[in-house]
Chain A
């Protein structure tokens, strides 16, 4: 489904990603873990088409070249980013925002737009999934939301957009354990053979609730190791020291896992 080869990204001449390879099959859940500054968020935004990146390599979704498209066309192709910092849009109510978003991708795909009444049913169902209160639809997009509400809103949007590939960028950061469970339950219920999920996270905790098929370690702009969910436990216990070109005098020696490049 998602095929990324030799992806390189720099901002203003500073390289961030340097030859990233990643392949995610249909229905799979992958986790990308890595230390601060390793390029995890950059990866998400490079795929989504944010301005300001110089990009090399290839990235395709269902065989379609993502990198050649505008951000909105990538969304229509089925790419969804769960933002680490969801953006506030004062004065625009959620209901309107969500319906416009959904109808935009439907239009782009040549599908019929969904009317207000039908949409309300879709929205209600999605809201139950992430335990959103009823007044939520009438509030402005993310404005005055708590951290947890903002993240839940991202999953709600995912439930409404029904993407082919959802890339969740640190959706777990800043959440208490209850919110974390709600979000994990939401994501799990959206798992399907038709949909792939990439979870970007610092912590193994979220992966206790959403079991990944593959865990990748992203360090220095490249995937340096991949393994099953036990890799996440290893990282939880030992940190990223063995994957980073650290100063050998200041870090205690640890055995390499063997698969690191």
Chain B
């Protein structure tokens, strides 16, 4: 069975017909390939003399992206040579690539040379009390029901002795260490566990995978690293910890999660608190490795600045997320995306081992002038592999929401099974919903199902709720939350509650 075949839609570089693979190589590339690492080190050191104002103490690099920028970042982070080489290889690849243009997104041209690629982690001013926090942000905290001590941490308010962020963090660290779980920033992992990083970095998302992944690989700032040893069930959701540590995550985040045989971990990325972020371009890469019988559950709640009603401002979010599931392993992606002006994101699972399972649950809301082109890729390689995709798109205002997904069953994948369900909800007359499924099946024993629906919130439903005493906004929010139920049910409990509230807040003003 084959509905629509377009293999390289996510920018992989395997077919000769891809225009990116015939892009001319820059002259720099030829030079770089002949250099020894000593020469590179010399060059790296030399570059600071004139390239970046002589010292390593600058907080922010001048705009522009060259090989020297990559060297600077690596040097600032005191990285081993193999990682610098890896970054340089990525940079070289990136130079030969062009931005993907197949997504249903209207994007103003991005000037990559106008951005700055290195900034020291910002020290936010420490505030004396919650009274000093922007009232708008306080208001949002209240609407989301975030506990006060977390509000303080997120706003960088000095916290009292009882719930001090440092001690909380230390407690988490001790609990995790006892279980043998490694959970730290990516930079720390590079220093403390280089062998683990080296073995797995780029093993799921190769540097040449796509334009934004290549860019990230060259200039990634920091991110998270997580390693669960064999047979260990991570003693806590790696969410609370992360929330506390999520304030300084950079523009080019890199995350690597490794679950050894029989290990289990649930990880939550992001934060439902309002993120005021002046970086317009975000290009993150997340790689998951689930070894035999391991299970990784990765949940995302994304609420970055979406821009205003006229489409001014807002984050451009180009993310590559992919997991590799070995024999009997399971990888589950759950995402609730309500922020960002542009979302380009296709969390994927390579179902490599026999009987491995891949899941994708998504809620994407596009309001104002937001554009989301998001979905999933499930690549069935092993026999008896199973995948399911549940996607809920909500469009309102002048938002545009596109589901784009690939289900690929390779010749080796005997008895592969996929179920895909794409539901779209339209809440205004100027918004749009689009569903673009790609199904590619090379094994006749495969069973692939795709269901799609488009609906609107009925006048009848609103009236019924209002007759029962609910305001129109409460009714709308309840109905939309009902629409998203299957996805929210997959989130860890506390975040499901926040996600519901977040959705309600994002929908404010969508009624009437």
User: A104 at the A/B interface (Cβ < 8 Å)?
Assistant: yes
Per-position binary interface string of chain A over residues 84-102, scored 1 when its CB falls under 8 Å from any chain B CB and 0 otherwise: 0011111110001100111
Residue of B nearest to A87 (CB): B464
Q: Looking at the complex, which one of B465, B466, B485 makes contact with A91 (CB distance below 8 Å)?
A: B485
User: A50 at the A/B interface (Cβ < 8 Å)?
Assistant: yes
| Inter-chain residue pair count (beta carbon < 8 A) | 79
Are A91 and B468 neighbours in the complex by a CB distance under 8 Å?
no
Cα distance A86–B464 when bound, in Å? 8
Nearest CB of B to A2, in Å: 16
Residue of A nearest to B479 (CB): A89
User: B474 at the A/B interface (Cβ < 8 Å)?
Assistant: yes
Cα distance A104–B467 when bound, in Å? 11
Residues of A within 8 A of B474 (CB): 100, 104
Are A71 and B482 neighbours in the complex by a CB distance under 8 Å?
no
Nearest CB of B to A44, in Å: 10
Are B469 and A89 neighbours in the complex by a CB distance under 8 Å?
no
Are B468 and A101 neighbours in the complex by a CB distance under 8 Å?
yes
Residue of A nearest to B475 (CB): A72
Chain B 435-486 residues near chain A, CB threshold 8 A: 458-461, 463-472, 474, 478-479, 481-486
Q: Looking at the complex, which one of B472, B478, B485 makes contact with A97 (CB distance below 8 Å)?
A: B478
**What size tier do the contact residues of chain A reach?**
20 to 34
User: A41 at the A/B interface (Cβ < 8 Å)?
Assistant: no
Are A92 and B478 neighbours in the complex by a CB distance under 8 Å?
yes
Q: Looking at the complex, which one of A83, A104, A108 makes contact with B464 (CB distance below 8 Å)?
A: A83
User: A70 at the A/B interface (Cβ < 8 Å)?
Assistant: yes
User: A223 at the A/B interface (Cβ < 8 Å)?
Assistant: no
User: A46 at the A/B interface (Cβ < 8 Å)?
Assistant: no
Interface size on B, residues (CB 8 A): 23
Residues of A within 8 A of B485 (CB): 90-92
Chain A 202-260 residues near chain B, CB threshold 8 A: none
Are B469 and A101 neighbours in the complex by a CB distance under 8 Å?
yes
Cα distance A223–B470 when bound, in Å? 32
Residues of A within 8 A of B464 (CB): 83, 86-87, 89
A72/B471 contact (C-beta < 8 A), A87-B460, A89-B464 known = yes
Are A90 and B467 neighbours in the complex by a CB distance under 8 Å?
no
Cα distance A76–B466 when bound, in Å? 10
Nearest CB of B to A145, in Å: 14
Are A108 and B469 neighbours in the complex by a CB distance under 8 Å?
yes
Are B481 and A100 neighbours in the complex by a CB distance under 8 Å?
no
Cα distance A140–B466 when bound, in Å? 18
Nearest CB of B to A258, in Å: 38
Chain A 107-146 residues near chain B, CB threshold 8 A: 108, 140-141
Cα distance A215–B459 when bound, in Å? 32
Q: Looking at the complex, which one of B471, B472, B482 makes contact with A140 (CB distance below 8 Å)?
A: B482
Cα distance A101–B478 when bound, in Å? 11
Are A87 and B458 neighbours in the complex by a CB distance under 8 Å?
yes
Residues of B within 8 A of A49 (CB): 466-467
Residues of B within 8 A of A66 (CB): none
Q: Looking at the complex, which one of B459, B460, B469 makes contact with A76 (CB distance below 8 Å)?
A: B469
Cα distance A100–B468 when bound, in Å? 9
Are B461 and A89 neighbours in the complex by a CB distance under 8 Å?
yes
Are B468 and A75 neighbours in the complex by a CB distance under 8 Å?
yes
Are A89 and B478 neighbours in the complex by a CB distance under 8 Å?
yes
Residues of B within 8 A of A176 (CB): none
Residues of A within 8 A of B463 (CB): 48, 50-51, 71, 87
Per-position binary interface string of chain A over residues 33-50, scored 1 when its CB falls under 8 Å from any chain B CB and 0 otherwise: 000000000000000111
Are B470 and A101 neighbours in the complex by a CB distance under 8 Å?
yes
Cα distance A192–B114 when bound, in Å? 75
Residues of B within 8 A of A92 (CB): 478-479, 481-482, 485
Are B483 and A105 neighbours in the complex by a CB distance under 8 Å?
no
User: A17 at the A/B interface (Cβ < 8 Å)?
Assistant: no
Per-position binary interface string of chain B over residues 146-157, scored 1 when its CB falls under 8 Å from any chain A CB and 0 otherwise: 000000000000
Residues of A within 8 A of B471 (CB): 72, 104
Residue of A nearest to B487 (CB): A91
Nearest CB of A to B271, in Å: 25
Residues of B within 8 A of A89 (CB): 461, 464-465, 478-479, 482
Residues of A within 8 A of B472 (CB): 72
User: A20 at the A/B interface (Cβ < 8 Å)?
Assistant: no
A81/B469 contact (C-beta < 8 A), A89-B461, A91-B483, A92-B479 known = no
A91/B469 contact (C-beta < 8 A), A71-B463, A86-B464 known = no
User: A9 at the A/B interface (Cβ < 8 Å)?
Assistant: no
Per-position binary interface string of chain A over residues 53-76, scored 1 when its CB falls under 8 Å from any chain B CB and 0 otherwise: 000000000000000001110111
Residue of B nearest to A141 (CB): B482
Cα distance A240–B52 when bound, in Å? 94
User: A161 at the A/B interface (Cβ < 8 Å)?
Assistant: yes
Residues of A within 8 A of B479 (CB): 89, 92
Are B482 and A105 neighbours in the complex by a CB distance under 8 Å?
no
Residue of B nearest to A77 (CB): B469
Are B482 and A72 neighbours in the complex by a CB distance under 8 Å?
no
Residue of A nearest to B463 (CB): A50
Residues of A within 8 A of B461 (CB): 87-89
Cα distance A81–B460 when bound, in Å? 13
A48/B469 contact (C-beta < 8 A), A91-B484, A91-B485 known = no
User: A157 at the A/B interface (Cβ < 8 Å)?
Assistant: yes
Are B481 and A51 neighbours in the complex by a CB distance under 8 Å?
no
Are A105 and B466 neighbours in the complex by a CB distance under 8 Å?
no
Residues of B within 8 A of A83 (CB): 464, 467
Give the 4 A-B residue pairs with the shortest CB-CB distance, closest first: A91-B482, A91-B485, A92-B482, A101-B468
Jot down 12 A-B pairs with beta carbons below 8 A, ordered by A. Answer: A71-B466, A81-B467, A87-B463, A89-B461, A89-B464, A89-B478, A91-B485, A92-B478, A97-B465, A101-B465, A102-B469, A104-B474
- A sample of 14 more A-B contacts (CB under 8 A), given A91-B481, A92-B479, A140-B482, is A49-B466, A51-B463, A75-B468, A87-B461, A89-B482, A90-B483, A92-B478, A92-B481, A92-B482, A96-B478, A101-B468, A101-B470, A104-B469, A105-B468
Chain B contacts to A: CB under 8 angstroms? 458-461, 463-472, 474, 478-479, 481-486
Chain A contacts to B: CB under 8 angstroms? 48-51, 70-72, 74-76, 80-81, 83, 86-92, 96-97, 100-102, 104-105, 108, 140-141, 157, 161
